[in-house]
């Protein structure tokens, strides 16, 4: 036995075992107009039939329908790991003739989850905090349009600072390969133009091998993911059974990377970045919300942004309204770090005031 062996290299294993025992919470929001294959894709991703009892109302019923938020929970277990998956659906989005402000209920919902977490975190009993915050929003873009529609842009701008957005092109089997490429490029250009921040998959470590780096770059280059979903298995006479959609002219295979980006999406969302999505939600998006909230609590009269002399940073990133002008990835990482540091400082400052207002807040717990 090696005398220099201490043994804390076993720590990751311990953490792993603990989290396997504890299970894993994840809240995924799915948004986009109806008919883009959202439910089918979710069923395909998680190999469940979450939407079995769903009723899609007729057009005349949807004339004046307001957007509702629906939550469905499912527990999935695989390899001993339990995942408690919560799906948030937004039926009615983009359906009505007049869709003005139809995204407001979604924004409100996301903020409510932050609010709830903030209250729980500041409360006395923190042992069993339920994390109902939305960790990721899969936004479905129509393959029939010419890129983002005005409604897409409005929705994305309203939520991009509050939730991790992963844009996908639904029903991608409507497109020929060249059309898919052109549409993806158009969407990427539009996202840049409209300054919409989608979830940035982190850079892979520099010590990874070339193959992995290439694969990683390829996956990142295929965003927005052009997906096709299916829960039906097609068994064509000599070939092996595949999950797909059978047409008179051929069969689209969901898990064939030549046909669509389903595998990429599944890999990046479920297999590699589930934890990172949660972390970014907590460290960046939630902290941003919390900071804004506490600032306005601590100084009820100081809504005036110009009188922020106490805080040292001059940039616009500290305004309560989410107007982070994040441009490039490196800048984002740098600012992410800086914000975390700044949050720490502010936290210390607020501690004293929090304890005071907390005592009062507990009594009038009308929240």
Partner 1 sequence: MSELVPEPRPKPAVPMKPVSINSNLLGYIGIDTIIEQMRKKTMKTGFDFNIMVVGQSGLGKSTLVNTLFKSQVSRKASSWNREEKIPKTVEIKAIGHVIEEGGVKMKLTVIDTPGFGDQINNENCWEPIEKYINEQYEKFLKEEVNIARKKRIPDTRVHCCLYFISPTGHSLRPLDLEFMKHLSKVVNIIPVIAKADTMTLEEKSEFKQRVRKELEVNGIEFYPQKEFDEDLEDKTENDKIRQESMPFAVVGSDKEYQVNGKRVLGRKTPWGIIEVENLNHCEFALLRDFVIRTHLQDLKEVTHNIHYETYRAKRLNDNGGLPPVSVDTEESHESNP
Q: Which residues bind partner 1 (CB under 8 A)?
A: 34-36, 56, 58-60, 62-63, 95-100, 142-146, 149-151, 154, 171, 173-174, 176-179, 182, 245-253, 256, 258-259
Strand 70-78 with 81-89, pairing: antiparallel
CB 305 within 8 A of CB 319: yes
Scanning the structure block, which residue is given the tokens 């076993």? 10
**Which of residues 29 and 254 has its CB atom nearest to partner 1 in the complex?**
254
Structure tokens at 84: 């408690």
CB contact at 8 A, 258 and 242 = no
In angstroms, give the least distance from the CB of 241 to partner 1.
Answer: 16
Residue 84 vs 149, nearer CB to partner 1: 149
Give the shortest CB-143-to-partner 1 separation in angstroms.
Answer: 8
Least CB distance to partner 1 at residue 250 (A): 3
Name 251's bridge partners: 246
**CB nearer to partner 1: pick between 160 and 259:** 259
Least CB distance from residue 145 to partner 1, whole Å? 4
Nearer to partner 1, 140 or 199 (CB): 140
CB of 142 to partner 1, least distance (A): 7
CB atoms within 10 A of CB 94: 21
3-state secondary structure of 124: coil
Nearer to partner 1, 67 or 280 (CB): 67
Tell the smallest beta-carbon distance from residue 220 to partner 1 (Å).
Answer: 22
The C-alpha angle with vertex 311 and arms to 310 and 317, in degrees rounded to 5, equals 150
Alpha carbon distance 114, 278 (integer Å): 13
Q: Do 165 and 106 touch, CB atoms closer than 8 A?
A: no
The answer to whether the CB of 108 falls within 8 A of the CB of 136 is no
Please state the closest distance from residue 195 (CB atom) to partner 1, in A: 18
Which residues are 140's β-sheet partners? 168
Q: Are 202 and 272 in contact (CB under 8 A)?
A: no
**Cβ closest to partner 1, residue 89 vs residue 95:** 95
Q: Considering beta carbons, is residue 76 or 154 the nearer one to partner 1?
A: 154
Q: Which is nearer to partner 1, 153 or 333 (CB)?
A: 153
Closest CA to 117 of 340, 287, 366, 355: 287
- Provide, rounded to whole angstroms, the least separation between the CB of residue 120 and partner 1: 36
Closest CA to 28 of 288, 289, 274: 274
């Amino acid at each position: 036995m090696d005398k220099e062996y201490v043994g804390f290299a076993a720590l990751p294993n311990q953490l792993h075992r603990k989290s396997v025992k504890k299970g894993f919470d994840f809240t995924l929001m799915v948004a986009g107009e109806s008919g883009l294959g959202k439910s089918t894709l979710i069923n395909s991703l998680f190999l469940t039939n979450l939407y079995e009892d769903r009723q899609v109302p007729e057009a005349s019923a949807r004339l004046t329908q307001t957007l509702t938020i629906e939550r469905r929970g499912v527990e999935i277990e695989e390899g001993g790991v339990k995942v408690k998956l919560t799906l948030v659906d937004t039926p009615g989005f983009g359906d009505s003739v007049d869709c003005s402000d139809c995204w407001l209920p979604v924004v409100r919902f996301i903020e409510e989850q932050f609010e709830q977490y903030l209250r729980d975190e500041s409360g006395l009993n923190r042992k069993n905090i339920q994390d109902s915050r939305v960790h990721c929003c899969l936004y479905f873009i129509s393959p029939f349009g010419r890129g983002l529609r005005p409604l897409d842009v409005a929705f994305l701008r309203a939520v991009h600072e509050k939730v991790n957005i992963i844009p996908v092109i639904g029903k991608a089997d409507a497109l020929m390969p060249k059309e898919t490429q052109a549409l993806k490029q158009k969407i990427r250009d539009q996202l840049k133009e409209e300054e919409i921040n989608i979830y940035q998959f982190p850079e892979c470590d520099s010590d990874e091998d070339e193959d992995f780096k290439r694969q990683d770059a390829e996956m990142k280059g295929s965003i927005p993911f052009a997906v096709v979903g299916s829960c039906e298995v097609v068994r064509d006479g000599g070939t092996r059974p595949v999950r797909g959609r059978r047409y008179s002219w051929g069969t689209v295979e969901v898990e064939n990377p030549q046909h669509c980006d389903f595998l990429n999406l599944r890999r990046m969302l479920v297999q590699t970045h589930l934890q990172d999505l949660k972390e970014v939600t907590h460290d960046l998006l939630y902290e941003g919300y919390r900071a804004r909230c506490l600032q306005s609590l601590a100084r009820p009269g100081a809504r005036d942004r110009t009188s922020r002399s106490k805080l040292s940073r001059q940039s616009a990133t500290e305004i309560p309204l989410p107007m982070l002008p994040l441009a490039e990835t490196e800048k984002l990482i740098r600012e992410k770090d800086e914000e975390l540091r700044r949050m720490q400082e502010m936290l210390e400052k607020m501690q004293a005031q929090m304890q005071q207002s907390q005592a009062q807040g507990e009594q009038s717990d009308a929240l």
